[in-house]
Amino acid sequence: MEKSKFAVIGTGFWAYYQLKGWQELGNAVPIAFYNKTISKAKALAEKFEVSNVYDDIDLLLDTHAHELDFVDIITNVETHYLFTEKAAARSLDVICQKPMGPDFSTCQKMLDLSQKAGIKFLIHENFRWQAPLRKLKEILLSGVIGKPFRARVSFVSAFPVFKNQPFLAELEQFILTDVGSHIFDVCRFLFGECQSLYCLTARINPGIKGEDVATVLMNMKNGMSCIAEMSYASILEKEAFPETLVTVEGGRGSVVLGHDFVIKTTNQEGTTEELGAPVTYDWADPAYSVVHASIVDCNRNLLAHLRGEAEAETIGVDNFETIKLIYSAYNSAREGQVVFL
């Protein structure tokens, strides 16, 4: 089958791993790179043997639009709308990194823009594709713990994220947009949609502008309650980063996704244990193995959608429901009230 051709917009830290994920699939090939600092684009292009390198996005798109199947936007969130708009103007399908946009109204504009242009608009939301979370979903669907009535989803850490990505310290809204876009999507993937929520936030690190702790209590449409916990300020006995830990209680038992991808399922017959470890790739950073491995499966799902072979899980319309949760949480924290969706 003919390979899909795409352009990479943004060649920063994450682009290398995104491209390695595409390479694992074997049926998509990059043909052009853009970065505002062309030296960065050239450096990455050399690693992937791509000869078309630009620091002018319009020139890239005007030159290659006729041979491109889609663009992969891997830039800072503030530029997502601009590059989506430029791709849509050339009728090019778009894969965009999370979060979709820098604020609620911009996300709505991006969704409207893509629908009006008639392009496929997909969000690269990879947390739900992590192997332990997919295994956890299988266990829940099996019915072994009965109908879930309460859950806790935690991404709680003392990882020095601001040292690696100092620009995050300047964000007025931080953890709910950066981590919340992942964790809310995981909650939706596991338990369905939310009908109301109450959120508390805090800024523990005095050297940042936004919140670095958030606790959200959600009332899901299926009747269960779900607590989403996010923190980059929690010094705990065992550092969990970059793992998402989950506890689910059901009418006939419980299941716990703990540290090191260990999943323990308990019912009246006792407790069973299994491992939800990710596939190991030689290009992945061992400290981020669960995240980097999920890129491959996420890309596979998105590409199948673009090629008309399957429906993607994180199309723009679906991811907009996650965006609603993020900004409803901010509204709740600001007003000190329950927000109904």
Tell me the pairing of strands 53-54 and 28-34.
parallel
Per CATH, which fold does 129-288+314-340 belong to?
A: Dihydrodipicolinate Reductase; domain 2 (3.30.360)
DSSP 237: S
Q: Specify the CATH architecture of the domain 4-124.
A: 3-Layer(aba) Sandwich (3.40)
**Tokens 């694992």, residue located:** 24
How much is the pLDDT for 163? 86
Average pLDDT over the chain reads 97
pTM over 0.85: yes
Tell me the pairing of strands 270-275 and 262-267.
antiparallel
User: 163 near 262, Cβ under 8 Å?
Assistant: no
How much is the pLDDT for 111? 97
Structure tokens at 118: 């008639």
User: 126 near 155, Cβ under 8 Å?
Assistant: no
> Closest Cα partner for 133 from 271, 207, 242?
242
> Closest Cα partner for 216 from 257, 187, 178?
187
How much is the pLDDT for 302? 98
> Closest Cα partner for 229 from 179, 177, 156?
156
Write the pLDDT tens digit of every residue in 220-248: 999 999 999 999 999 999 999 999 999 99
Rounded Cα gap, residues 140 and 133, in angstroms: 11
The tens-digit pLDDT sequence of the chain (341 residues) is: 799 999 999 999 899 999 999 999 999 999 999 999 999 999 999 999 999 999 999 999 999 999 999 999 999 999 999 999 999 999 999 999 999 999 999 999 999 999 999 999 999 999 999 999 999 999 999 999 999 999 999 999 999 999 878 888 999 999 999 999 999 999 999 999 999 999 999 999 999 999 999 999 999 999 999 999 999 999 999 999 999 999 999 999 999 999 999 999 999 999 999 999 999 999 999 888 999 999 999 999 999 999 999 999 999 999 999 999 999 999 999 999 999 99
**How far is CA 247 from its chain centroid?**
20
Write the pLDDT tens digit of every residue in 105-123: 999 999 999 999 999 999 9
Q: Which residues pair with 93 in a beta bridge?
A: 70
Write the pLDDT tens digit of every residue in 163-198: 878 888 999 999 999 999 999 999 999 999 999 999
Q: What is the DSSP string of 146-194?
A: -SEEEEEEEEE----HHHH-GGGGG-SS-HHHHTHHHHHHHHHHHH--E
Q: Which residues pair with 150 in a beta bridge?
A: 225, 249
How much is the pLDDT for 137? 98
Which run of H or of E encompasses 73? strand 70-73
Rounded Cα gap, residues 40 and 56, in angstroms: 13
In the chain, where are the structural domains located? 4-124, 129-288+314-340
Q: What is the DSSP string of 255-313?
A: EEE-GGGEEEEEETTEEEEEE-PPPP-TTS-GGGHHHHHHHHHHHHHHHHHHTTSS--S
How much is the pLDDT for 167? 84
**How far is CA 252 from its chain centroid?**
31
